[in-house]
Structure 1
């Protein structure tokens, strides 16, 4: 398990502060090309992820590609994935309909309700003999779509959901300029600190020396497949 420092974004020079336009919206998720508030974020390449003390971050891996992240805190979980989307239209309406069909086909159910990010799905997901409440939220951005899934306490307890909803509001999506088909996952990557720690651990293992973890502070990050 790697301990990862949160990324502190560079402080702008005093002269640049006056020239930086304020965000035109009150909250995100933000697009990388628009003004957004400066704060500490983990740089995952296609997504800059804000987190707080006590948060554990897990990366979702499909094959050799990192496609999403899960944040765990106090019995709640937030799973976030970013996808490419058409330039002119959003895809949350379509994705929401697909999710409802998939949930029903697997013995679950979903109801459309109004949430802090617009229309969301209050769902019941069947896992074996158990049924678990889950919230599916979708945010359409410029040429991208962000899906946020709340589970655990955050699925039904507004107070438990609040810190994770704040995470969603401050995510920065880095879509890139290259062509991508709609619904293709925006690829993420390990932060530089994590890659460096892995290389040091591998080198220590090869030499027979004890591995030294240089990343002593910040949230924990693990990898799930």
Structure 2
């Protein structure tokens, strides 16, 4: 008996499939009313710190710190009104999001550490509301939010007062809505962190500081410690 031969995709069909996918991405983007935005999308103009792979909105009263993994900058933290918003951008598959998978991993990690986590509907879709054990104290409320973008995924963690105060939370949620992710064209594995970098003015000031020169106060653009989180 002769088995069926799998028909190979012709060059014309491959081009058509690629064009169809691009149209679908544009259509998905066109129905979005707010960010976080992809760098290729139209988005509002406002003051943002250019961190390379991410453009982070800043407002008066914000303090911005950077998350380090060794010498690599992988995330940023916005401190505001006794609260913290931690954001990381990762590469994601072209055809599917990863928030469902990541959310499950986060919930399992929280529960394994002795905390609790439950899903609920939030301003960006399903989020994770958790009580995370704290060293020597009562469990702390934490919100885990995720947004799947075109070939990237943004994870946000809200802790402190904003985790329970809707008014403070609204300010930090506004930051998330105005983040611009710069994915780039280079190949990256899913869940690989999109590397960030210091703004040129902050990098120059740090170099002057290392050589003993006088530098201005860089606040709120400070290199801060990595904020502990459940992975």
**TM-score scaled to structure 1, two decimals?**
0.83
Match of 1:18 in 2: none
Taking the aligned partners of 2:224 and 2:159, their CA distance within structure 1 comes to 19
Equivalent residue, structure 1, for 2:215: 212
Q: Does 1:59 align with 2:50?
A: no
Larger radius of gyration: 2
Q: Which moved more, 1:51-60 or 1:122-131?
A: 122-131
Once residues 199 and 66 of structure 1 are traced to their aligned partners in structure 2, the CA distance between those partners, rounded to angstroms, is 17
1:152 deviates by 0.4
Where structure 1 has 5 or more consecutive residues not aligned to the other structure, the ranges are 1-22
**Out of 201, 205, 210, which is 1:193 matched to?**
201
Give the whole-Å Cα distance in 2 for the aligned partners of 1:212 and 1:62: 25
Tell me, what secondary structure is at the counterpart of 1:224?
Answer: coil
Task: Provide Cα deviations, 1:46-80, integer angstroms capped at 9, x if missing partner.
Answer: 00000110100110000111000010011011000
| Residue equivalent to 2:124 | 117
Could you tell me which of 50, 54, 58 is aligned with 2:57?
A: 50
Quote how far apart the aligned CAs of 1:220 are.
4.1
Judge conservation of contact 1:84–1:181 (CA < 8 Å) in 2.
yes
In 1, are the aligned partners of 2:202 and 2:221 still within 8 Å (CA)? no
Local SS of the residue matching 1:33: coil
1:72 to 62, 66, 79: 79
- Is residue 91 from structure 1 mapped to residue 92 from structure 2 by the alignment? no
Q: Distance in 2 between matches of 1:222 and 1:57?
A: 8
| TM-score, length basis structure 2 | 0.81
For 2:156 and 2:73, how far apart are their aligned partners in 1?
Answer: 16
Say if 2:151 is the partner of 1:151.
Answer: no
The gaps in structure 2 that reach 5 residues or longer are 1-28, 227-231
Number of matched residues?
196
One of 124, 130, 136 as aligned partner of 2:144: 136
- Cα RMSD after superposing both structures: 1.5
- Stretches of 4+ aligned residues off by more than 6 angstroms: none
Q: What do the CA deviations read for 1:99-143 (whole angstroms, capped 9, x no partner)?
A: 111111000110100000000001000123430000000000000
